[in-house]
């Protein structure tokens, strides 16, 4: 079903993925959206598939529709891009598919007995293609998270490949991050997509960095051949809205990327 409905996104955009769940994709996407806002770019945001969503305020019936749930990640993206997260006429394009269970979307769809509505996702990309200058698409979990159940297996990697968007990879620099980062970047390239940058998230202050962490921050971009676009500090719980320091850290990349894609249009 998704393979027959989704087609390449024919306008400027970026796909933001991570080396795993809770690595900070929403924080990075929101900060990048806010940076583009500062540059007066009409930025669109979309998290096509969300799980771990809460019930809409005041709704007590059975969950039979995506509209009965609220995506916290989607709301954070909407706020950062200058949209009202209470406006469902926009949110259906920001977070089209939503599940309550805090598991992979493919498993959540089985647990909730509700197949992903890929028509909503296709409609979202059609909307953004006409209503923004640059679209930021945030994945769910890591690159190989399943988002459609068997027998039509479909993963985040397949979604990104269908859209044909360049990919920004979010990682950290703790022990083991070189392996996870290089594996993710290799998998992105296996889909014939360009990995255009790495953002290293949750980096402690200089005085708290051990040798492995300090080395990893240098080795990830060097070994992968992918530019380091920003280093973001530790921030505890996912910050909403993104701190000004995060926005400032991503502003150079936002400016460079916008200037490049604008010339290509």
Strand partners, 167: 15, 195
Q: Where are the alpha helices (DSSP H) in the chain?
A: 2-5, 25-38, 72-80, 88-94, 105-111, 118-131, 156-163, 177-190, 211-224, 244-264
What element of type H or E holds 136? Answer: strand 134-138
- The answer to whether residue 47 is catalytic is yes
Distance CA 231, CA 219 (A): 14
What residues contact 158, with CB distance under 8 A and at least 6 apart?
2, 3
What residues contact 133, with CB distance under 8 A and at least 6 apart?
12, 41, 42, 43, 262
Distance CA 216, CA 230 (A): 14
CB 20 within 8 A of CB 143: no
Q: Other C-beta atoms within 10 Å of 219: how many?
A: 16
CB 92 within 8 A of CB 83: no
Phi, psi of 72 (to 5 degrees): -60, -40
The catalytically annotated residue of 25, 47, 86, 191 is 47
Question: How many Cα atoms within 13 Å fall on the side-chain side of residue 65?
Answer: 9
Strand partners, 198: 169, 228
Hey, which residues are catalytic here?
A: 47
């Amino acid at each position: 079903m998704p393979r027959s409905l989704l087609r390449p996104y024919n306008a400027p955009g970026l796909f933001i993925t991570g080396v795993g769940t809770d690595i900070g994709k929403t924080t990075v996407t929101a900060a990048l959206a806010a940076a583009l806002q500062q540059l007066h770019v009409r930025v669109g945001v979309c998290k096509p598939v969300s799980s771990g969503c809460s019930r809409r305020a005041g709704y007590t019936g059975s969950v039979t529709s995506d509209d009965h749930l609220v995506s916290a990640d989607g709301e954070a993206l909407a706020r950062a891009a200058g949209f009202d997260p209470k406006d469902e006429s926009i949110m259906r394009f920001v977070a089209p598919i939503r599940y309550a269970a805090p598991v992979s979307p493919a498993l959540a769809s089985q647990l909730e007995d509700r197949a992903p509505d890929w028509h909503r996702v296709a409609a979202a990309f059609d909307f953004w293609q006409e209503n923004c200058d640059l679209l930021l698409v945030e994945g769910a979990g890591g690159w190989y998270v399943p988002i459609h159940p068997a027998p039509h297996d479909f993963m985040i990697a397949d979604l990104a490949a269908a859209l044909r968007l360049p990919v920004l990879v979010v990682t950290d620099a703790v022990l083991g991050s070189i392996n996870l980062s290089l594996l993710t970047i290799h998998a992105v390239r296996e889909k014939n997509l360009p990995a255009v940058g790495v953002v290293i998230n949750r980096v402690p202050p200089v005085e708290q960095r051990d040798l492995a962490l300090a080395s990893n921050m240098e080795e990830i971009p060097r070994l992968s051949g992918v530019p380091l676009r920003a280093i973001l500090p530790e921030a505890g719980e996912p910050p909403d809205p993104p701190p000004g320091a995060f926005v400032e850290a991503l502003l150079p990349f936002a400016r460079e990327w916008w200037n490049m894609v604008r010339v290509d249009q």
